[in-house]
C-alpha cells in the first residue's frame, strides 16, 4: 500500500516552499511518522552529493535531514544547473546527461522524464508512511503546463493534494492565491486543497476576514498562517537570485568571544554555486559575512572567499572586468587571507584548459596558486574525508575541473601558499574543529584579536533551525487538517473557479 502524500506548491518562486516542506517533514517525524521529501525537478546551483555519489539539490538534502534520513537520488530525480540564461546542465538520477536549452528541454525532453519521476515517487511512497513533495515556481505557469512534471503534472498523475504557499510579505497574497487557482483547468483545480500564508507580520485577527472571503471565493480553506521569522533561509535553491549588493549572511548567534570581529567578504561571482559553504562561517559568533562585487569592498575584509561557480571562465572574466582580480592578486602578495572553493580554487590557479564548460580552451588564471586545471567531461562526485590543520574534515566534491598541483603546501585536496588557500571540497567548514583552527589562522594573519567560540556546533545549529521550522508548522498550522490531506487526499467537491486554463 502506498504511503500518503502532499505537494507543497507556491504562488511564486521563493514563496517558502522549501522551508515549509522541511517544516512539515520535521513536524511529521516528531510525531513518529516515517517521512521522505521529494522534488521531481529542481533548478538550482546549490547541490549536494549523496553517499552513493549522486548529485541532488541541497534543499532536498536539507529536507532529508529534517526527516532524519539519508538523502538519495530518488528524492530529486531531475536537477537543472543553469549555465546561462538559456541553457542548463541536466542531471538525471544524480548524474549529468548533457547541456540543454530551455526550449529543447520544454520542447519534449521534460515530458519524456515523467515516467522516471513517477517511478521514483512511487518507490518512496512504497517505503515511507508519507512523502512531502515540493513544487517549483508556480503551478499556474500556463505556458509550461503541457510539459509540467513538477507541479500539477505530478499532482494529477500521482493523486496528490496540493497546498499553495503564498509570501504575504511581498504583498498581493489574496490575488495570488485566487489567480493561481483560477488559471488552472477544472481537472487541476480538483487537487488544489487550500492555502498556507507565509511570513506574516502583525495581528492575525486582522488577516482573518480576508481568509474567510478567500474561502468564500474559492471554496478552499487556509491551513495556517506562519509568522515571519529571521534566519530561516537555510539551503536556498538558487544562487542566481541572490542580491549582489552587500547581502549579509544572517545567523542567530551569540556575541563575539574575543575583542574583535572577523569580516568575511564573499565575491558574488556569476553562476555562484553552493554559496551555502559560508553558512558555517556566519554561524560563528563574531564572524560577519557579506557578499560583495566591488574591489573597494575587499579592503577591510579579514578573509575573502571565492565560492564555487558553474562558470569558472565566466567568473574569471567578471573578476577582471570589475577590478576584483587585481585586488585578489594584491591580497595574495600582501599575505592577506583568501580562500578559493571549487571554481574559486580553479580561478586562483595559473592555467585553465576548458573545452567542456565554457569551451574557450586555454585561459590564464590569476596565478596565485601553483596549479593547472583541465576540464574533464566526466564530473567528479565524491564525499571525501581527511585531515587539515590537525583536525578531521569531511566535505563533498562536485566539479568537472581536474587540478594538477605543481607546488604549495598540501591543504585538503588542494594547496596553500602563504595566506592563500584553495580546495575543491565543499562543506569543509561545517567540520567544527577544522573551522575553528582555520579561523584562528585567519585572525592571526589579519592581526585581529578574534577568538572562535569553543563550543559552536554547526550540526546542532542546523538541527535547531529544522526544529524551529517544525515548531512553525506545529504551532501555526492546522496539523489535524494537514494530516487528513496527507492521508486521504484533497477534499471532494471543491468548486471550479473560472476562467480556468486557456485552451
Residue numbers annotated as active site? 342, 426
> Please, where are the H alpha helices in 372-478?
432-446, 458-476
Q: What is the DSSP letter of 80?
A: E
Question: Does residue 201 have a cis bond before it (omega within 30 degrees)?
Answer: no
Torsion of CA 400, 403, 409, 415, to 10 degrees: -30
228-246 burial, b at 16+ Cβ within 10 Å, e below that, comes to eeeebbbbbbbbeeeeeee
At a CB cut-off of 8 Å and minimum separation 6, what does 258 contact? Answer: 286, 443, 448, 449, 450, 451
Q: Determine contact, residues 115/79, Cβ cutoff 8 Å.
A: no
What gap in Å lies between CA 303 and CA 420, rounded to an integer? 10
What gap in Å lies between CA 200 and CA 226, rounded to an integer? 6
Q: How is residue 415 written as a grid cell? A: 594547496
What gap in Å lies between CA 101 and CA 316, rounded to an integer? 24
Task: Kindly list the distances between the CA atom of residue 85 and the CA atoms of 55, 98, 270, in Å, as whole numbers in the listed order.
Answer: 22, 16, 11
What gap in Å lies between CA 411 and CA 339, rounded to an integer? 11
Amino acid at each position: 500500500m502506498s504511503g500518503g502524500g502532499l505537494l507543497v506548491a507556491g504562488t511564486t518562486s521563493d514563496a517558502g516552499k522549501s522551508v515549509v516542506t522541511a517544516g512539515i517533514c520535521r513536524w511529521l517525524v516528531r510525531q513518529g511518522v516515517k517521512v521522505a521529501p521529494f522534488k521531481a525537478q529542481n533548478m538550482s546551483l546549490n547541490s549536494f552529493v549523496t553517499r552513493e555519489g549522486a548529485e541532488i539539490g541541497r534543499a532536498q538534502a536539507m529536507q532529508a535531514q529534517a526527516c532524519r534520513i539519508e538523502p538519495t537520488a530518488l528524492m530529486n530525480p531531475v536537477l537543472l544547473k543553469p549555465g546561462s540564461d538559456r541553457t542548463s546542465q541536466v542531471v538525471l538520477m544524480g548524474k549529468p546527461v548533457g547541456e540543454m536549452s530551455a526550449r529543447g528541454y520544454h520542447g519534449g525532453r521534460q515530458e519524456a522524464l515523467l515516467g522516471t519521476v513517477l517511478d521514483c515517487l512511487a518507490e518512496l511512497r512504497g517505503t515511507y508512511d508519507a512523502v512531502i513533495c515540493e513544487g517549483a515556481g508556480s503551478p499556474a505557469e500556463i505556458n509550461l503546463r503541457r510539459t509540467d512534471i513538477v507541479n500539477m503534472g505530478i499532482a494529477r498523475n500521482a493523486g496528490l493534494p496540493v497546498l499553495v504557499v503564498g509570501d504575504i510579505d511581498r504583498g498581493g497574497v489574496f490575488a495570488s492565491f485566487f489567480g493561481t487557482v483560477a488559471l488552472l483547468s477544472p481537472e487541476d483545480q480538483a487537487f488544489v486543497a487550500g492555502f498556507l500564508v507565509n511570513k506574516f507580520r502583525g495581528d492575525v485577527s486582522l488577516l482573518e476576514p480576508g481568509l474567510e472571503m478567500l474561502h468564500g471565493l474559492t471554496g478552499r480553506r487556509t491551513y495556517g498562517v506562519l509568522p515571519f521569522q529571521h534566519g530561516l533561509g537555510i539551503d536556498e535553491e538558487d544562487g542566481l537570485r541572490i542580491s549582489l549588493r552587500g547581502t549579509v549572511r544572517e545567523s542567530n548567534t551569540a556575541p563575539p568571544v574575543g575583542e574583535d570581529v572577523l569580516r568575511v567578504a564573499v565575491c558574488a561571482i556569476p553562476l555562484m554555486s553552493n554559496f551555502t559553504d559560508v553558512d558555517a562561517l556566519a554561524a560563528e559568533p563574531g564572524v560577519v559575512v557579506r557578499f560583495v562585487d566591488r574591489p573597494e569592498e575587499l579592503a577591510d575584509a579579514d578573509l575573502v572567499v571565492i565560492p564555487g561557480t558553474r562558470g569558472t571562465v565566466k567568473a574569471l572574466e567578471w573578476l577582471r572586468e570589475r577590478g576584483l582580480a587585481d585586488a585578489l592578486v594584491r591580497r595574495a602578495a600582501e599575505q592577506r587571507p583568501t580562500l578559493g572553493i571549487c571554481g574559486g580554487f580553479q580561478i586562483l590557479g595559473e592555467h585553465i584548459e576548458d573545452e567542456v564548460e565554457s569551451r574557450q580552451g586555454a585561459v590564464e588564471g590569476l596565478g596565485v596558486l601553483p596549479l593547472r586545471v583541465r576540464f574533464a567531461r566526466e564530473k567528479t562526485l565524491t564525499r571525501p574525508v581527511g585531515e587539515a590543520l590537525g583536525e578531521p574534515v569531511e566535505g563533498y566534491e562536485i566539479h568537472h575541473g581536474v587540478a594538477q598541483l605543481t607546488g604549495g603546501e598540501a591543504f585538503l585536496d588542494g594547496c596553500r601558499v602563504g595566506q592563500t588557500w584553495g580546495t575543491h571540497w565543499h562543506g569543509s567548514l561545517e567540520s567544527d574543529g577544522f573551522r575553528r583552527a582555520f579561523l584562528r589562522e585567519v585572525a592571526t594573519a589579519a592581526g585581529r584579536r578574534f577568538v572562535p567560540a569553543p563550543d559552536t556546533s554547526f550540526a546542532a545549529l542546523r538541527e535547531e533551525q529544522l526544529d524551529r521550522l517544525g515548531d512553525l508548522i506545529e504551532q501555526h498550522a492546522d496539523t489535524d487538517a494537514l494530516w487528513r490531506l496527507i492521508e486521504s487526499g484533497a477534499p471532494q467537491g471543491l468548486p471550479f473557479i473560472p476562467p480556468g486554463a486557456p485552451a
